[in-house]
Structure 1
Amino acid sequence: MKYRSIGADPNSRREVSVLALGAMLFGSVTDEKTSFAVLDRYAEAGGNFVDTSDNYAFWTDGGQGGQSEELLGRWRRSRGVGDEIVFATKLGARPLAPGTGYTDNPEGLSARTIREASERSRERLGLDRIDLLYAHIEDRTVDIRETVEGFGALVAEGAVGLLGASNHAVWRVERARAVAAAAGLPGYEVLQYQHSLLRPRTDIPDELFRDGGLGGATGELLNYLRAEPALTLVAYSPLLRGAYGRADKPLPADYDHPGTPPRLAALRAVARETGASPNQVVLAWQFGADFPVIPLVGMSSVAQLEENLAAVDLELTPEQRERLDRAH
């Protein structure tokens, strides 16, 4: 396994594996036996960066989530896992009542919610301290200062290590970081967005930031990351839920545009040259990006995990990377 640092403060900085394990469906769609087997093999291979959320997976049973955190807590206790594994979780998008969702009835990012939701997450995970806590989605009903102060208080108390934001408009991330810096409080250091080799369409009005939906890493965000090297991007759904390698997994509709076929052709050519799978090439492309990227991959079998682990040692040549970058 290979590792990279997240966080600038020596007191909270962590060394995490370059491949993060997404636990979104653990304890719900992925049964406990399989989930434990994947977690065991990931840890055995040196993986130490596990990602979840307090709302995973509310949509599977019409509930409010918590299944993933609860399963991870059971795995921790059964295996005697300590602080060698870095756990990241999120709050803000948990439905307030069964049968509702994060777009119409989210818990939000008030100071009270941040405190109460984080306490529930720590209890489910069995942790005294959450290594990395994200604001999962925006909450424009709450002043940014209140959110920043709410997260900052948890860090000051030792209940949280690092802070992150997911699915926020770039200007909102920057504003929150500026408010935190001006107040002498910790700010967001890890950003989590959907990011992959293929690029979604950009000519469709994006209602993401008004309606609270989920979205991808825009060119604006990627340029922001290049300008702020202390930040790290955790890239979720880098493999587009299997669409690169499985005929039964079509690409999402927003990837249906003239730029997709040439990038797929370049990907397949590099895969043939390296003897790797398209999935492995995509992950290797992210590992070697010109800004810090940690791909976050959800896996429902040990076989999928083994394929992804093999990508850690795949080295692309500068010429191969240039072809992948320039294809459009």
Structure 2
Amino acid sequence: MRTRTIGTGVAKRQVSSICLGAMMFGTTIDEATSFAILDRFVEAGGTFIDTADAYSFWAPGGRGGESEALLGRWLADRRPGVVVASKLGARPTVPGTGLETAEGLSAAAVRQAAAGIRERLGVETIDLLYTHIEDRTVGLEETVSALADLVDAGEAGILGVSNHATWRLERARVAAADAGRAGCEVLQYRYSYLQPRHDVPVPEAGHVHATPELLDYARVHDLPVLVYSPLISGGYTRPDKPLSQAYDHPGTASRLEALDEVAKETGATRNQVVLAWLQGLDQPVIPLVGASSVGQLDEVLEGADLELSTDQRARMDAAR
């Protein structure tokens, strides 16, 4: 599997070009299946795993932290040398509620959430720590300082931002740079080959799609972008997972036609071609892919090193 570089300085790490999403591990995906998926990923050369302290509070019986706790048990048994990323800020503080009671990004909340993540994962240092959602009730400088304190204390390695407006991302990075402190070096947003209308929200609460402006910002500043929902939750291949209204525009049909042409030429599946297209963009993009079975993961792994020709990419890019 190909690799990417994340972070700078002493925290810099080499990771696999595919990141495994562990969102439903420990809730809707049982422990035995989760362990089998994780083992298969590592066996195939995967070294990058993503979770969050909010995963998965919406699942039956979930309160958040279940995915991290499962990963902690898996890590304790194997210690496979993987990089584990987690996120804080979105976990509900009241059982049975949602983002309306999210823990937020105050200094106290950041310290408490990070301590919980470290305990559940069973690690001294969180390899990569994102702020999961925005908290506009707290000044950016307070959050930036609290996160940098974690880096200074050795409790976090690399810092990242997920689902923030580009202008707030820029202000946070400037605040960290002006203070001479650790700041955001990795981004995480929703993105795929099919592009939604930006005037129609996607139905998944909290999802923020990477805009051209965000991607341009990341390119200029050489910030790796983890892209979640790259396969649109089965929307490319499963009749029972229709695309949402946000994708109901002429460009979708045009892009699907180009996608099918390339899939036929390469002998790959739609999903594999989408992942190849993402990995071949002119900036460091890392698809974050979830799997509920080893079979689903194998489809991803079998196409992990697929490379598209210049002509194939040009045709896919030109479809509008």
TM-score, L = length of structure 1: 0.95
Q: In the alignment, does 2:114 pair up with 1:114?
A: no
- The alpha-carbon distance between structure 1 residues 265 and 207, as it changes in their structure 2 partners (threshold 3 A), is closer
Q: CA deviation at 1:88?
A: 0.2
Q: Kindly report which structure 2 residues correspond to 1:30-69, keeping only aligned pairs within 5 A, or say none.
A: 30-61=29-60, 63-69=62-68
What is the number of equivalent residue pairs in this alignment?
Answer: 319
Q: Is 1:327 the equivalent of 2:319?
A: yes
Q: How much has 1:202 moved relative to structure 2?
A: 2.1
- Residue 263 (str. 1) matches residue 255 (str. 2): yes
**Correspondence 1:293 to 2:289:** no
Distance 1:89 1:203 in 2: 30
Structure 2 counterpart of 1:73: 72
| 1:309 and 2:301 are equivalent in the alignment | yes
Q: Distance in 2 between matches of 1:63 and 1:283?
A: 30
RMSD, aligned α-carbons: 1.4
- The answer for the alignment partner of 1:185 in structure 2 is 181
Return the letter of the residue paired with 1:70: A
C-alpha distance after superposition, 1:223-275 (max 9, x if no partner): 1122212x010000100011111111111221111110000000010000000
Q: How does 1:1-328 map to 2 (within 5 A)?
A: 1-9=1-9, 11-61=10-60, 63-79=62-78, 81=79, 84-102=81-99, 104-204=100-200, 213-229=206-222, 231-328=223-320
1:48 aligned partner, one-letter code = T
SS of equivalent residue, structure 1 residue 153: helix
**More displaced, 241-250 or 125-134?**
241-250
Q: Are the counterparts in 2 of residues 25 and 57 from structure 1 also a CA contact under 8 Å? A: yes
Q: Distance in 2 between matches of 1:248 and 1:202?
A: 24
Alpha-carbon distance in 1 for matches of 2:147, 2:105:
9
In the TM superposition, residue 320 of structure 1 has moved relative to its aligned partner by: 0.6
TM-score, normalised on structure 2?
A: 0.97
Question: 1:52 touches 1:89 (CA, 8 Å); kept in 2?
Answer: yes
| 1:207 to partner: Cα distance | 11
The residue type equivalent to 1:246 in the other structure is R
Mapped to 2, the partners of 1:90 and 1:227 lie a distance apart of 24
CA distance in 1, matches of 2:221, 2:193: 21
In 2, Cα distance between equivalents of 1:248 and 1:107: 34
Alpha-carbon distance in 2 for matches of 1:270, 1:170: 33
Secondary structure of 2:91 counterpart: coil
Q: CA–CA distance in 2 between the matches of 1:255 and 1:144?
A: 33
Contact 1:63 1:97 in 2 (8 A): no
Aligned-partner Cα distance in 2 for 1:298–1:282: 14
Question: Letter of the aligned partner of 1:38 in structure 2?
Answer: I
Unpaired stretches in structure 2, ≥5 consecutive residues: none
Give the CA deviation at 1:42.
0.5
